[in-house]
Amino acid sequence: MTDPLHTDLLDLAQEAARRAGVLLRDGRPADLAVAATKSSPIDVVTEMDIAAEKLITGLIAEHRPDDGILGEEGAATEGTSGVRWVIDPLDGTVNYLYGLPTWAVSIAAEQDGETVVGVVAAPMRGETFHAVRGHGAWDGERRLACRPAAPLEQALVSTGFNYVADVRAHQADVAQRLIPLLRDIRRGGSAAVDLCDVAAGRLDGYYERGLHPWDLAAGDLIAREAGALTGGRPGERPSGALAVAGTPGVFEPLQRLLEDFGAWHD
């Protein structure tokens, strides 16, 4: 039986993600990538991002006013209930800008510092992933399971790159060294969706440096509840230094290579 509190948190997270996803999907101008009503297309994306976070935090405050909140667009309240929401209202902003479908609303709920609920809604893909700690990971009514163990040389692995040129150059070097050792590498553009794709068996692994808590929180729980392993540098939890997820057969050798190749520093 799911803890009634966790059920309530899941219901609220799903409704908030659904509403924010509709706002972002239906509010995106058709010509966003080439023209905008503001000074640049980026301004419009930022406005949509902020509007989505305001919608989410407003709904949470209405139902659970004593909870804490940490949001990408600046929402930060301590709360007194022991529950904190970690929110990325639009993960994959460049994809959103260009009209690519891989962007998502990511909402996680922590209880006493541990993530207990995660929801990642990808409206343009028609998918909403969710997990409650200890109760598996799901895409709607379909239970998710990561891929069967495969050797690293047969692994399809996704990653992401920083927007700072010097950092990207080092990350490209790491990827270049990895590619001959894997089946192939992908760059999806949304950390939350990549983690869910590991959970859904579409990727064998994923890694990235430079993520924030709101990028990771929901997707990390969903991946783990689908049977994947997650971490950072060896013996550490996922963090801004490095986040790694993978099937049980891929996770440790991938993590070791990333350590050897210095993926954890710029």
pLDDT at 36: 45
Average of pLDDT values for 109-116?
97
φ and ψ at residue 205, rounded to 5 degrees: -165, 170
Residues forming a β-bridge with 114: 111
Nearest-5° Cα angle at 60, 59 to 66:
140
Domain ranges of the chain: 4-135, 152-260
Looking at every residue in the chain, the average pLDDT score rounds to 94
Statement: residue 35 has pLDDT above 80: no
Q: Which residues of 111-122 are buried (b: 16+ CB within 10 A; e: fewer)?
A: beeebbbbbbbb
Tokens, residue 209: 């440096």
On whether the CB atoms of residues 182 and 151 are closer than 8 A, the answer is: no
pLDDT of residue 75: 79
Tell me if 214 sits within 8 A of 70, measured CB to CB.
Answer: yes
Measured CA distances, 85 to 69, 111, 133, 170 (Å): 5, 9, 15, 33
Predicted confidence (pLDDT) at residue 246 exceeds the cutoff of 80: yes
pLDDT band at 43 (very low <50, low <70, confident <90, very high): confident
For residue 166, name the pLDDT band (cuts at 50, 70, 90).
confident
Q: Is the pLDDT of residue 109 over 70?
A: yes
CA atoms within 13 A on the CB side of 81: 18
Q: For the chain, what's the residue count?
A: 266
Mean pLDDT of 214-228: 98
Output the six-digit token pair for 13.
Answer: 């997270």
CA–CA dist 119, 138 (Å, integer): 10
User: How far, in Å, are 2, 160, 195, 243, 253 from residue 134 at the CA level?
Assistant: 9, 28, 18, 21, 26
Mean pLDDT, residues 161-173 taken together: 92
For residue 31, the one-letter residue type is D
The CATH code of the domain at 152-260 is 3.40.190.80
Task: Let me know: does 243 contact 232? Beta carbons within 8 Å.
Answer: yes
What is the spatial distance between Cα 149 and Cα 172, in angstroms, rounded to a whole number?
27
pLDDT of amino acid 33: 60
For residue 149, CA distances in Å to 123, 154, 156, 218, 227 come to: 30, 10, 12, 23, 11
**DSSP code at position 180:** G
Predicted local confidence at residue 37, as pLDDT = 44
Q: For residue range 56-102, list pLDDT tens digits in order.
A: 999 999 999 999 999 998 878 899 999 999 999 999 999 999 999 99
Unique residue bearing structure tokens 């609303």: 105
| Top CATH class, 4-135 | alpha beta
Q: Cα–Cα distance between 161 and 206 in angstroms, integer?
A: 12
Which DSSP category does 123 fall into?
Answer: G
